[in-house]
């Protein structure tokens, strides 16, 4: 991570004759809007007929070899910052079931369509020891990857983690995702929950994210200024969610 996108190629699978071409046009237009916002250009693409629609981008960019951010390398004493709230997985599923409010769903969509470009530009002013984006493995999964590749354990404050509106309520109502079980199985052997971590809130850590925020480790003395810059830039949900500490002999992540 830490690079700048230059060119993009559309990769499209689309069911010819089953959906109107206008739907494909909307997908391409939406992607082009975000490509332009990122500062890159659309160089072309490929379209394949398929039974269901799929879309992605192949992105080429540049990064200074001494300024690459890897998802490992957190050091004891680092602060951990998360730039977007989590909960997209359960909100999307709840919306399919008609359980979530329009307001909560709209707020989720606004978060998903926000690029991490501005957050990355802010972090470029600081000493980033490790960085990743939170996607399908959830905060627990991506946090575990960071911890296992670092000489430290990650200590998360569950109450400090930004969470999407109504996400907790959906889990309490029994709604979940098909990925939660997989994420929990892979990570739970490496996580210790302290008594202070409310049990009903723990499932959010396994929630798979779509277009999640950045999760970074940086020197604790730089965290307050970084957070202030993020918030002043409009990334208002950013929060310090914990700290990296000395390695734990048994657990890579400790949640309080």
CATH number of the domain that 9 lies in? Answer: 3.30.1330.10
Q: Percentage of residues in the chain with pLDDT exceeding 70?
A: 100
CA distance 230 to 30: 25
Q: How far is CA 152 from CA 147, 148, 218, 242, 250, in A?
A: 6, 8, 13, 13, 12
Task: Write out the E strands in the chain.
Answer: 4-14, 41-49, 54-62, 78-82, 130-133, 153-156, 191-193, 214-219, 239-245, 253-255
Domain-located, residue 51: yes
Say if residue 25 is in the same domain as residue 95: no
For residue 93, pLDDT over 90 is answered with yes
pLDDT band for 107, please (50, 70, 90 cuts). Answer: very high
Q: Is the pLDDT of residue 62 over 90?
A: yes
Tokens of 54: 């799929």
Provide the number of structural domains found in the chain: 2
Rounded to whole angstroms, the Cα distance separating 147 from 153 reads: 6
d(CA 85, CA 75): 24
| Strand partners of residue 155 | 243, 254
The residue segments making up the domain with residue 58 are 4-62
Do 122 and 8 share a structural domain? no
How large is the average pLDDT for residues 93-97? 95
The pLDDT of 7-16, averaged and rounded, is: 92
Structure-token match 């979940």, residue found? 176
170/221 same-domain check: yes
Q: What is the mean pLDDT of the chain?
A: 95
Q: What is the mean pLDDT of residues 16-41?
A: 91
Q: Which two tokens stand for residue 108?
A: 């989720």
Element (H, E) at 28: helix 21-38
- 39 and 157 belong to one structural domain: no
Rounded CA separation 82/160 (Å): 10
Q: Are residues 111 and 155 in the same domain?
A: yes
Residues 6+ apart with CB under 8 A from 171: 90, 200, 203, 204
Residue 67 lies in a domain: no
Helix (H) or strand (E) holding 35: helix 21-38
Residue partners of 118: CB distance under 8 A and separation at least 6: 233, 234, 235
**pLDDT computed for residue 2 by the predictor:** 86
Residue 36, pLDDT above cutoff 90:
yes
- Provide Rg for the chain, Cα atoms: 19
- 137: tokens are 């493995």
Q: Cα 59 to the chain's mean position, in Å?
A: 18
């Amino acid at each position: 991570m830490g690079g700048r996108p230059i060119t993009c190629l559309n990769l499209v699978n689309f069911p010819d004759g089953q959906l109107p071409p206008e739907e494909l046009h909307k997908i391409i237009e939406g992607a082009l809007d975000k490509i332009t916002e990122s500062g890159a250009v659309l160089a072309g693409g490929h379209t394949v007929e398929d039974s269901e629609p799929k879309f992605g981008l192949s992105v080429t960019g540049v990064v200074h070899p001494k300024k690459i951010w890897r998802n490992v390398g957190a050091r004891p004493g680092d602060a951990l910052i998360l730039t977007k709230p989590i909960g997209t997985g359960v909100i999307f599923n709840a919306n399919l079931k008609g359980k979530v409010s329009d307001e909560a769903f709209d707020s989720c969509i606004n978060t998903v369509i926000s690029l991490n470009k501005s957050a990355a530009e802010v972090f470029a002013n600081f000493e980033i020891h490790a960085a990743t984006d939170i996607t399908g493995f959830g905060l627990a999964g991506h946090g575990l990857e960071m911890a296992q590749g670092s000489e430290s354990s990650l200590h998360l404050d569950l109450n400090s983690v930004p969470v999407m509106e109504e996400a907790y309520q959906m889990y309490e109502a029994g709604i979940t995702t098909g990925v939660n079980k997989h994420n929990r199985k892979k990570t739970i052997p490496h996580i210790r929950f302290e008594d202070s971590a409310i049990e009903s809130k723990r499932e959010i850590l396994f929630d798979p994210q779509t277009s999640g925020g950045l999760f970074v480790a940086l020197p604790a003395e730089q965290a307050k200024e970084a957070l202030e810059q993020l918030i002043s830039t409009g990334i208002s949900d950013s929060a310090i969610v914990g700290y990296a500490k000395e390695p734990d002999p048994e657990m890579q992540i400790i949640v309080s």
